[in-house]
Amino acid sequence: MDLMQILQGQLSDDVVGQISQHIGAEPEQTASAANGIFATLLGGLANNASSEGGLSALGSALDRDHDGSMVDDLLGMVGGMMQGNQSGNATNGSGILGHILGQQQEPVAQQISQSSGLNVSQVMKLMPILAPIVMSVLGKARNQGGLDLGSLANILMGSAQNASQQGGMGDLIGSVLGSVLGGGQQQQQPQQSQGGDMIGSILGGLFGKR
């Protein structure tokens, strides 16, 4: 199961067009930035799930708030979030981002801005719209597949590794996870050709003992 492919499949032309209008961007730029955001969130979730406490917290959040039903009407879900008509943890994109990325949200937005052509402000508007989609897709995948937490962690690892191989995404995810694992200290930006190897090494180290 490749969660990155599933997430990309959720972004129909209508959904991308609706989001693009909201953030004031071209659809192609929005789609490019969305790929970076999805990949980074998968990497962040894989990092969180590497500890027993983090994995347990993720399972509890999915059980409580993210059963996956919202992706059945993604256009309505996104429209409601942008209009402020939905409330609660399931669509609280800012809260979800805080749990997954912590203080790395702005550095992530800066890097995605450079790769997508959106400005940082547009990326910061886009991130909380996409974060609930990630959690909803993850919840649906877990429920439909009857996955236990260990299986969920392995799928997150594999999906993050696959995402890292798409157009330099390894550099982005590797930088974010490097900051997280390094205690928030500034990390040297890896070379483009080494990005996939870096994220693979990080995730392999996280999950190699499971």
pLDDT tens digits along 124-150? 999 999 999 999 999 998 888 888 888
pLDDT exceeds 60 at position 201: no
d(CA 36, CA 127): 10
For position 167, what pLDDT does the model report?
Answer: 58
Confidence of residue 152 (pLDDT cuts 50, 70, 90): confident
Q: Which of 121-138 are b and which e, b meaning 16 or more Cβ less than 10 Å from the residue's Cβ?
A: ebbbbbbbbbbbbbbbbb
Residue 2, SS3? coil
Residues 6+ apart with CB under 8 A from 1: 141, 145, 155, 158, 159
Q: How many CA atoms lie within 13 A of 158 on its CB side?
A: 10
The region of weakest confidence among 53-62, 67-76, 163-172, 197-206 is: 197-206
Cα radius of gyration (the chain): 16
Indicate the length of the chain as a whole number: 210
Q: Whole-model pTM?
A: 0.79
* Per-residue burial over 65-94, b = 16 or more CB atoms within 10 Å of its CB, e = otherwise: bbebebbeebeebbbebbeeebeeebbbbe
Residue 6 tokens read as: 């599933």
Task: Count up the domains in the chain and report the number.
Answer: 1
Q: DSSP labels for 89-139?
A: GGG-HHHHHHHHHGGGHHHHHHHHHHHHS--HHHHHHHHHHHHHHHHHHHH
State residue 44's pLDDT score: 87
Instruction: State mean pLDDT over 183-193.
Output: 35
Q: Residue 172 has what pLDDT?
A: 62
In terms of residue numbers, what domain contains 133? 3-207
Does residue 79 carry a pLDDT above 50? yes
**Per-residue confidence (pLDDT) for residue 182, from 0 to 100:** 44
Residues whose CB is less than 8 angstroms from the CB of residue 48 and which lie 6 or more positions away in sequence, other chains included: 54, 55, 57, 58, 99, 100
> In angstroms, rounded to a whole number, what is the distance separating the alpha carbons of residues 117 and 120?
9
pLDDT for residue 173? 62
